[in-house]
Amino acid sequence: MKDLLERRWMKTTSLLLVATLVGGDALNAVAFAQEVSSGERRLALIVVPAKGKDDVVTAHLAKGILLGTLERLLAVNVRRGGTAYVEDISALQVAAQKVEEGKKALLAQKWEDALTAYMTAKNAMEKALAFADRRLFARVYKGLGVALSSLKRGEEARRPMRLSYLAYPDQEPASYAFSSEARALFAQVLAEIKSAPLGGISVEASVERAEVYVDGEFRGFTPIKVAGLVEGEHWVSVISDGYTAYSDFIEVKAGAQTPLVVPLEPMPQEKAFRAKMGDMEKALQKGKDIEDACKGLMAFANTTDVLYLRISSKPNAIGVSGAYCGRTFAVVETELQKDATLVKSLQGLLAGQLGVSLPSETATGPIDPPELAVPGAPAGGAIAQGEELIVDPNSPIFKETVRVRKEKGIVGKWWFWTAIGVVAGGIVATGVVLARKGGGGGETTGEVRIYLNQVK
């Protein structure tokens, strides 16, 4: 069973097993698998004003709309890259790989191995923390919280669980049911967050109109006040093109605006960056060598895509000129109306140049749930939430109710998956997965591990 799940994991598939209970009820059990895609793209989004004073305001309006849209592109493997300096942007890929290793260790209940993997992921992510998307951030800290709590280190687990939830609130206790300790502790942390008093932060930087992110979410440009934050620690990043990105954890006090002043330092390659930006402006003004200038920026930023936009303000419209280079090359020249369609027009421009469909803004979903989630499992009784139940597949009680569906297996083998539900006395519901070898029968592979979790 374990061997098969590991190979399915490497195939990055999600296997849906449907169990039919005696009495006609149905249970769904899902084996989740995630893997970093080799097709990941990093986008350098550069938005600059033309020359007028009104152009500056309009350019930041347009940039704010586009930055607020970028998170939706995570679903199509487009992530923020950039022209701000971090220690090692490639470390984010290392972090993502270690998260996958940690998830496999959690599924196998190898808590020490999981903790090692997630600590390595955390250390790698910190080398480019300002450019980490909040889903990756939440996965790293969730894994740390689960591993620590399962090792009976609950006090250490509280902070990572809290940080994970603040960055990615689409989490419930059921998604922490790798162990009963992890689920119970996260339920406590969640209750504390929801009852905590509110405060805020006031962010200023040495550079005007630097981007501000709180818990991974774009909130605006400096100087800015961000209210409605729960008391306690929050992840704050401040980014500006041509400067070293800032990212740290800030303590927010209840009923107050916690001040944060960020002295952004020029990036080590500032002169080279300004030269590349100058080349791009000259190319656009002359109308030639635009592709070469765009690719020069792309090489400097170490990204797969560059979208460079110059914004000018007109009486009833926004003028947009510039270029895109990446999978293709295109010169951008258009006008967008200053009306209710502006947001969708800018989002359409971004998605169109990248050649992707913009995913729904509500497309989030849980992160790294436990291996098998069984709807309707009893909340109490002899089997506690998240506990492991070992079932002997050779038990006579299964012999008369087995239903077999044959599927093509791996490396030339055939695997039979049987999902069985047993109702004993009308109070017990279990999902059982049996793995069998051979083309026409044979012995079972051994014990079956079943995780019972209540799903809300």
Q: If you average pLDDT over every residue of the chain, what do you get?
A: 78
pLDDT tens readout for residues 10-26: 333 332 222 322 333 22
Q: Is the pLDDT of residue 102 over 50?
A: yes
Calculate mean pLDDT across residues 49-56: 86
For residue 422, give the H/E element and its range: none
Quote the pLDDT of residue 164: 97
Alpha carbons 17 and 1: distance in angstroms, whole number? 14
* pTM confidence score: 0.73
* pLDDT band at residue 286 using 50, 70 and 90 as cut-offs: very high
CA distance readout (Å), 284 to 51, 56, 63, 214, 323: 14, 18, 19, 35, 8
* pLDDT band at residue 292 using 50, 70 and 90 as cut-offs: very high
Alpha carbons 407 and 418: distance in angstroms, whole number? 11
Calculate mean pLDDT across residues 368-373: 66
Query: Which amino acid does the sequence have at 364?
Result: T
Contacts of 219 by beta carbon, 8 Å cutoff, 6+ apart: 212, 213, 226
Q: Is the pLDDT of residue 147 over 90?
A: yes
Q: Is the pLDDT of residue 371 over 90?
A: no
Asked if 335 and 319 touch (Cβ cutoff 8 Å), the reply is: yes
Alpha carbons 127 and 160: distance in angstroms, whole number? 18
Asked if 66 and 348 touch (Cβ cutoff 8 Å), the reply is: no
Contacts of 20 by beta carbon, 8 Å cutoff, 6+ apart: 26, 403, 419, 420, 421
Quote the pLDDT of residue 412: 41
Q: Reduce the DSSP state of residue 205 to 3 states and report it.
A: strand
Closest CA to 82 of 134, 132, 131, 135: 131
* pLDDT band at residue 233 using 50, 70 and 90 as cut-offs: very high
Q: Is the pLDDT of residue 374 over 90?
A: no
Contacts of 333 by beta carbon, 8 Å cutoff, 6+ apart: 320, 321
* pLDDT band at residue 360 using 50, 70 and 90 as cut-offs: confident
Calculate mean pLDDT across residues 309-326: 94
Alpha carbons 270 and 209: distance in angstroms, whole number? 18
Of the candidate ranges 77-81, 182-186, 341-345, the one whose mean pLDDT is the lowest: 77-81
* Beta pairing partners, 46: 308
Contacts of 349 by beta carbon, 8 Å cutoff, 6+ apart: 320, 332, 334, 336
Quote the pLDDT of residue 218: 93
Q: Reduce the DSSP state of residue 126 to 3 states and report it.
A: helix
Quote the pLDDT of residue 18: 28
Domains defined for the chain, CATH in brackets? 2-32+371-451 (no CATH), 37-84+267-359 (3.40.50), 87-192 (1.25.40), 198-210+224-262 (no CATH)
